[in-house]
Every structure is written in C-alpha cells, then in structure tokens.
Structure 1
Amino acid sequence: LTHGKKGYEGVWEEVEEAAVRAQALKDALLRALDEDTEAFNRVMAAMRLPKKTDEQKAAREAAMQEATRAATRIPYGICESALASFDAIETMAAVGNENSISDAGVAAHCARTAVHGAALNVRINLPGIEDEAFVREMREGVERMTAEADRRLEGVLKRVEEVLAKQGVSGTG
C-alpha cells in the first residue's frame, strides 16, 4: 500500500529495503521451525541412549548436554530474528501508508509475541544445562531481548495511536 503509490515516492526505496529485510527474516524463521524440530529429535534420541554402564551413562549425559544446548540456541536465534523484524515494522509505521497503520501495530504485537514465546523455549531448557556460562548468556540475552521487544512494541503502538487520533479514531483496543 506504500511502494509504488502516488504520494509516497520519497519513501519507495526505504520501504522496498524494509520489505526485503522482512522477507529474509521470514525465510530464516521458517527454516528455524524445521531446525527446532530436528533439535528436539536429537534431544529425544540422546535420552534414549543406553545407560547401563558408567561409560554409557557418561556418553548419554554428554549427548544430552550437547543436544539441549543446540535445542536452546535455535529459539534464541528466533528471538534475535523476531526482534530484528522490528526494524522493518518501525520503518513502515514511520513512513508507510497511514491507511495501513494498523498492520504495523499487528505486526509489532506478533513480533513481540514471537520474541517472548521463543524466550520461553530458551528458558525451559536452561535447568538441564550444566554449562553455567552458557546458561547465564542465554538467560541474560532473552531478558534483554524481551525487554527490548516490549519497548519497541510500545513505540510502534504510540505511532499507531497518533495516526488513528489524526484520523479521528481514539481509544485503545
């Protein structure tokens, strides 16, 4: 509704760049879905390893640790990608067609939800990981990203409400 539309010529390039970035993030997130399934399957396979001897127990535990770390990195990456999607959303909220401002608000809510949802998937894995530095890095990272997603959502919604008020629509919802 913005690119190629009369009256928005000055932002066509900026909007096109935002669309390209958003498409790349969408593709990465779709790949991450498959990677997440594969990582979960590796965790389950590690759990099924034999544990009769001390050597088997040690091998099983090492496999579970590595598989769980890998299964944690994937939703962490999803957090990063979902957070990065705010760049395109903020661009569209700032310069996009005001008749589609609600789309920017919906997209911002979706991005925030994706960040928080992926953060939950990171956090659920942390108690089973023995590498304290890794656990700390993951925990601090998702705390930072969820806080930033909240802040950026509020910024987009502020812009949405400004445009709606200008159009004579007030209130929240």
Structure 2
Amino acid sequence: MSELSWNNSIGHFLKEAASAAPTPGGGSVSALAAALGAAMTSMTANLSQGEKYDHIHEQITDVINSMERLSTHCEELMVADIQSFEQYMTALRLPKETDEEKRYRTHSLQTAVIAAIEVPMRLLEVCRDGLSQAYNIVEMSNKNVISDLGIGAILFEAAAQSALLTVDINLASLKDLDVKYSYETKTAALIREIGQIKDQTLLMVRNRIAN
C-alpha cells in the first residue's frame, strides 16, 4: 500500500480503502471522518467573523486554532493506525517453535494489541474535544451555516462510534483482564460524554434552524 496522508486525493484514499489490502481500514476511515468534522466546525467558525461577530472573536479564533490542531492529530492517527496493524502482523509472523519463541511471540502480540487499542482511544478523545468546541459556538455562530456545524457534530460522533468498534475488536484479543476492564470503563465514559455533547449541539442547531 502506498503511503497515505492528507496530501492524497479523496479518490486515491477511497480506492485504497476499497481494495483487498487490509490498510487503510476502519481506523483510518474513522480518523478521516473526524477530520471532516473538524473541517465543518472550522468552516462555521471562519464564516462567523467580521464586525458582526467582534464580540465573539476570541472564542471563534480559539475554535479555528483548535480545529487545525485536531485535523493534524487526525492525520497522525490515520498513519498510526496503519503502523499499529503492521506491528501486529509482524508479531503474528514471529516463530513459535520453542517455548521461548512462543513466550516472546505472545508478548509481542499483546504489545501490538495494546498499540492497536491506544490509537482509536486517542481518536475518541479527539472527537470529544472537537464536539466540545462545536458546542461552545453553537449559540453564537453564523446562523446561515449552522447546519454545517451540526454536520460536523454528527461526523465527530460517527468517527467516535467507529473508533469504538476498533477498540472493541482489539479488546477481544487482550489477555490482561484488568487492563481490558480499564479500557472498557474509559471508552464507555468517553462515548457517553460524546453522545451527550452531540445531542445537546444538535438540539441547539435544530432550534436555531427553526427560529
């Protein structure tokens, strides 16, 4: 698979994702969805500038800067997702003839599984932070593009739900039950928080559209 980055075309990414190659897969697609959520939030903020919005200039600027950082982080996570899969496949190919080789292979696989969990975990946090920023400007941003802010919120939650599936499928391979429980507790809290912020944001979006 050729190296992916934000510099690739959408068509190239879709072709790679649709191919028989295992990467880019769901983790990379989740990162892209979150970046699109950041783009919609940033667009809404960028169109909420000028004399009419002088009183919220600082808040709007904070959101624009935050979305730029989040988008960069999403690109890094897309790459990290591919690398974590390659790490797992490398561990899977390790020899397992002797007891020592088996122990080393098992350790390497579990290390790779944790790496594969950590990437979507970080994406969940990105989605939570992005949604929080969108919520911060939902009542004050340009009403003419408020639907785009709502779309950004939906994309952030979709990315988070997708990332959660990636966490779950890797958790199934994690042997340390205490570590597994810790991840399950953390993801449950994050996804609950994300859903609540998204619901509150969309409620305000729909209210502003109706009024």
1:2 aligned to which of 48, 69, 72? 48
Instruction: Give distance in 2, aligned partners of 1:14 and 1:149.
Output: 21
Partner of 1:100: 145
Instruction: Give distance in 2, aligned partners of 1:15 and 1:131.
Output: 44
1:46 and 1:64 in contact (8 A); partners too: yes
- 2:112 counterpart of 1:67: yes
1:43 and 1:68 in contact (8 A); partners too: yes
Instruction: Give distance in 2, aligned partners of 1:113 and 1:141.
Output: 18
Partner of 1:30: 75
AA partner of residue 57 (structure 2): W
AA partner of residue 174 (structure 2): I
Instruction: Give distance in 2, aligned partners of 1:25 and 1:134.
Output: 27
Instruction: Give distance in 1, aligned partners of 2:162 and 2:106.
Output: 27
Instruction: Give distance in 2, aligned partners of 1:137 and 1:113.
Output: 23
Residue 165 of structure 1: how far off its partner (Å): 1.0
- 2:170 counterpart of 1:125: yes
- 2:75 counterpart of 1:43: no
Partner of 2:192: 147
TM-superposition CA deviations, 1:89-136 (whole Å, max 9, x none): 112312111111101110000011111111110110112111222111
AA partner of residue 145 (structure 2): S
Give unpaired runs (5+ residues) of structure 1.
167-173
1:47 and 1:60 in contact (8 A); partners too: yes
Residue 6 of structure 1: how far off its partner (Å): 2.7
Residue 87 of structure 1: how far off its partner (Å): 2.0
Instruction: Give distance in 1, aligned partners of 2:140 and 2:181.
Output: 38
How does the TM-score come out when normalised to structure 2? 0.76
Residue 148 of structure 1: how far off its partner (Å): 1.3
AA partner of residue 53 (structure 1): T
Give unpaired runs (5+ residues) of structure 2.
1-46
2:132 and 2:197 in contact (8 A); partners too: no
Partner of 1:171: none
Length, aligned pairs only: 165
Instruction: Give distance in 2, aligned partners of 1:163 and 1:128.
Output: 46
Instruction: Give distance in 2, aligned partners of 1:95 and 1:26.
Output: 23
How does the TM-score come out when normalised to structure 1? 0.92
Identity across aligned pairs (percent)?
Answer: 25
- Runs of 4+ with deviation above 2 angstroms: none
Instruction: Give distance in 2, aligned partners of 1:56 and 1:10.
Output: 65
